Amino acid sequence: MKKSCSLPSNSHKLSYAVMAILFLSTFSLFGETISVSEGSKYTHIGEYLEYAILPKENSDLSNIQKAETVWQKNPGKTISFSKERRPVWFKLHLSYKGNVPHTFYLIFSSPVVDLFELYYPYKDKWIKMNSGEQVLQKDKPIYSHLPAFPLYLSPGEETTVFIKIESSNPIFNFVSLYDTRSFLAYSKKNDIVFAAYFGAGGFMFVYSLFLAYSLRYKQFYFYFFYLSTILLINLYSTGFMQYVEIGDSHTWKNYLFPIAIYFSCIFGLLFTSEFLNIPKKSPKMHKLIKVLVIISIIMVFSILFIDLRSYIHIAVLIVMIPILLGLFISFYFLMQNKRNLENYLFFFALSSVLVGASVNTLTIQGLVQPTLFAMYSLPLGSTMEIFLLGTALMVKVRQLRKDTENKREIDIQLKVARQLQKDLLPKARTSIKGYPLGFRYMPTSEIGGDFVQIIEKEDCFGLFLCDVSGHGIPAAIIASMTKVSLQIWADKLDEPALAAQKIRLSLLESLSGNFLTAVFIYIHPEKKILKFVNAGHHPLILLQSNGEYEYIYSQGRAITEYMPLEIKELTIPLPKSGTLILYTDGILESRNPTTGVLFGEEGLIDVLQKISNLDPQTICDQVTSEVSRFQKYKRAADDITILALNLTKE
């Protein structure tokens, strides 16, 4: 029998031709080869990659394989094309030295890149796989938040893989190759790390919401919204946002990502301002923060005017503003008060996220070795920021609760002091012994140190006006004690000088560095005499109805614990007409906020001369109204008290 020799069929000829073309086309493009074997992993293989960039309209597989395509060696262990808007092609040559077929996994670290297209030859054709942020999970080769591609390799196989990367976000990536077991271990570790991160973030999210709702402080609301935006940004940066799918397109995510960054700037600045109490400590810095917040709000809507890539790029840059500004302000405040624990925690919180972001950026740029810490530096920095800010808020809450308790105690004291103040003021009356009387009191705070006392006997009466140094509760307490001591004078009303001496002795242990000025006036209508003692106070003014006036002087020191009281009692005939004016220095020391000029004695006399023919109460009302108008209705620097007594009986 004659042996026959069969020739290849036409289909076999075509298959061989295709394989030859594939082999020749890829062989001419071979760069440095990675020899892989089962049971191994190859991390940070960016230096084995070559890249090429073609015009977008020609950027496809057929054009990238042409001989005239210029390939360049990737300069580092990472992929970094932050400003490139065109698609970037990479190629990787693999040689498998194993004994059995095995599936390897090519992993890219950045889940925020829009699109990865991977091509590799398998059974006479190019296999295409897609992954990335803009690819639905059902269209990915692996259901994962990471861009990962399975590569099936046979023993002794050499192959070239082409990867096309295109994104509106900056292109940054670590590239690794894992065998199946290593890939599963890597995925598990990755999920555990980020589960811990988002677990801690979720706890602080709920905790900050609880604080904001229960305490109702603005800083807690701002922290809640700031933390919300930070968690949202990290959902993007870690890729877990890819599990959230609405409709058949992920384009909305490219807009939500930078918007979240801009809002993190807004709430980060507002939180910094409230937490560090900047409005009170540094009004100029507060104005700067307001300007930056307004700019950030404008940038949110700038998407209507600029392209998406620029919008994202600006957002990535602007996110550092609240961090750097917060670091500067907190460090400045630390230098002023080195015992403030909240400032330390705030400073180190922002420092940690800044260090994490810096290490991450330097690693992506290839300037830092991509160690495990370097790769996870950004989420680690964010975790430390969340933890330290949460601790700072806890310290703040403790302080706020302490302040609340102190405020409650002060409110109780104020309630008592208000009652004291109420008791210090004379009861409403229009006359005494037939003499028309007027009175007006304007405290600089809710509790003042001025008070007036009217003591009436059967045939005489006394007027007492006192001005205690200082304001608030201490001044009110001393004034109240002075009122109690006035009982000494009530017993011997016709001896005001002796009463002043005894009152000083009774107050010695209570003055505690304070002092008071006072006037004692004794009037006996039948005897027609007026006795006057001045303890360091302003002289009396005797105002006639025609506008003429005169001062009634009596020498004497203020009542203080440090010096003996040297006073002289003045006795004069009771004037037949006119109005006695008693007043405190709050009137004279009232200041015009525009010119800085004091109201002074000239201002008081000028007003009194214009209203000299009016009744005592109207005189008091007109004087205080004119003082308020002079200082443009702002709160006075000192208590204002005026008392008027018309010496003509009704």
Q: Using one digit for the tens of pLDDT, what is the confidence trace for 269-315?
A: 888 888 888 888 888 888 998 998 998 888 888 878 777 767 777 77
- What average pLDDT does this structure show over 606-624? 94
CATH (domain of 444)? 3.60.40.10
What pLDDT is recorded for position 129?
93
- What average pLDDT does this structure show over 356-372? 67
Structural domain includes residue 420: no
Q: Coil, helix or strand for 115?
A: strand
- DSSP label of 138: G
Residues 195 and 182 in one domain: no
Q: How confident is the model at residue 632 (pLDDT cuts 50, 70, 90)?
A: confident
Partners of 436 in beta bridges: 431
What H or E segment, with its residue span, contains residue 636? none
Structural domain includes residue 589: yes
List, as one string, the DSSP characters of 41-108.
EE---GGG-EEEE--GGG-SHHHHTSTTPPPEE--SSEEEESS--S-EEEEEEEEE--SS-EEEEEEE
Residues 161 and 238 in one domain: no
Q: What angle do CA 562, 496, 650 make, to 5 degrees?
A: 135
List, as one string, the DSSP characters of 149-217.
EEEEE-TT-EEEEEEEEE-SS-EEEEEEEEEHHHHHHHHHHHHHHHHHHHHHHHHHHHHHHHHHHHH--
pLDDT of residue 571 exceeding 70: yes
- Counting residues of the chain whose pLDDT is more than 90, the rounded percentage is 26
pLDDT of residue 17 exceeding 60: no
Most confident by average pLDDT, 8-12, 323-327, 643-647: 643-647
Question: pLDDT (tens digit, 9 = 90+) per residue, 446-503?
Answer: 566 788 889 999 899 999 998 888 766 777 778 878 888 888 888 888 999 988 888 8
Structural domain includes residue 570: yes
pLDDT of residue 103 exceeding 70: yes
Choose the final residue of a domain: 163, 187, 211: 187
Q: How confident is the model at residue 30 (pLDDT cuts 50, 70, 90)?
A: very low
Greater model confidence, 83 or 580: 580
Q: How far apart (Å, rounded) are the C-alpha atoms in residues 355 and 377?
A: 8
Q: How confident is the model at residue 124 (pLDDT cuts 50, 70, 90)?
A: confident
Choose the final residue of a domain: 148, 168, 187: 187
Choose the final residue of a domain: 161, 187, 213: 187
Structural domain includes residue 418: no
Residues 45 and 137 in one domain: yes
Torsion of CA 284, 286, 292, 297, to 10 degrees: -140
Range of the domain at 472: 428-646
Q: Coil, helix or strand for 262?
A: helix
- DSSP label of 134: T
Q: Is the entire prediction scored with pTM above 0.75?
A: no
Residues 180 and 223 in one domain: no
Q: How far apart (Å, rounded) are the C-alpha atoms in residues 367 and 98?
A: 34
- Counting residues of the chain whose pLDDT is more than 70, the rounded percentage is 89
- What average pLDDT does this structure show over 562-583? 91
What pLDDT is recorded for position 28?
40
Residues 74 and 212 in one domain: no
What pLDDT is recorded for position 1?
35
* Mean pLDDT, the chain, whole residue set: 82
For residues 282 and 336, the answer to whether their CB atoms sit within 8 Å is no
List, as one string, the DSSP characters of 308-374.
HHHHHHHHHHHTHHHHHHHHHHHHHHHHH-TT-HHHHHHHHHHHHHHHHHHHHHHHHTTSS---HHH
Residues 545 and 437 in one domain: yes
- DSSP label of 632: T
Q: How far apart (Å, rounded) are the C-alpha atoms in residues 424 and 439?
A: 13
What pLDDT is recorded for position 445?
65
What pLDDT is recorded for position 11?
42
Tell me the residue type at 604: L
Structural domain includes residue 458: yes
pLDDT of residue 551 exceeding 80: yes
- What average pLDDT does this structure show over 139-161? 89
Structural domain includes residue 462: yes
Q: Which residues of 248-272 are buried (b: 16+ CB within 10 A; e: fewer)?
A: eebeebbeebbbbbbbbbbbbbbbb
Most confident by average pLDDT, 77-91, 404-418, 578-592: 578-592
The Cβ of residue 612 has, within 10 Å, a number of other Cβ atoms equal to 17
Q: How confident is the model at residue 371 (pLDDT cuts 50, 70, 90)?
A: low
What pLDDT is recorded for position 4?
35
Residues 218 and 359 in one domain: yes
Most confident by average pLDDT, 15-24, 53-62, 413-422, 573-582: 573-582
pLDDT of residue 150 exceeding 70: yes
Residues 632 and 521 in one domain: yes
- Into how many domains does the chain fold? 3
pLDDT of residue 6 exceeding 80: no
- 219, with CB counted inside 10 A (0-12, 13-18, 19+), is buried
| Contacts of 180 by beta carbon, 8 Å cutoff, 6+ apart | 102, 103, 104, 105
Structural domain includes residue 526: yes
Residues 523 and 400 in one domain: no
pLDDT of residue 426 exceeding 80: no
Q: How confident is the model at residue 538 (pLDDT cuts 50, 70, 90)?
A: very high
Question: pLDDT (tens digit, 9 = 90+) per residue, 183-212?
Answer: 888 888 878 877 777 787 777 778 777 777
CATH (domain of 78)? 2.60.40.2380
Q: How confident is the model at residue 397 (pLDDT cuts 50, 70, 90)?
A: confident
Residues 59 and 138 in one domain: yes
Q: How confident is the model at residue 3 (pLDDT cuts 50, 70, 90)?
A: very low
What pLDDT is recorded for position 337?
79
Structural domain includes residue 419: no
What pLDDT is recorded for position 603?
93
Least confidently predicted of 48-62, 212-226, 409-423, 454-468: 409-423
CATH (domain of 251)? 1.20.1070
Residues 181 and 245 in one domain: no
Task: Kindly report the backbone phi and psi dihedral angles of residue 280, in degrees, each rounded to the nearest multiple of 5, phi listed first.
Answer: -90, -40
Residues 259 and 167 in one domain: no
User: Which of 167, 160, 177 shows the shortest CA–CA distance to 50?
Assistant: 160
- What average pLDDT does this structure show over 386-393? 82
- 585, with CB counted inside 10 A (0-12, 13-18, 19+), is middle
Q: How far apart (Å, rounded) are the C-alpha atoms in residues 133 and 154?
A: 31
Q: How confident is the model at residue 365 (pLDDT cuts 50, 70, 90)?
A: low
Both tokens of residue 240? 């877990």
Partners of 120 in beta bridges: 127
- What average pLDDT does this structure show over 263-268? 87
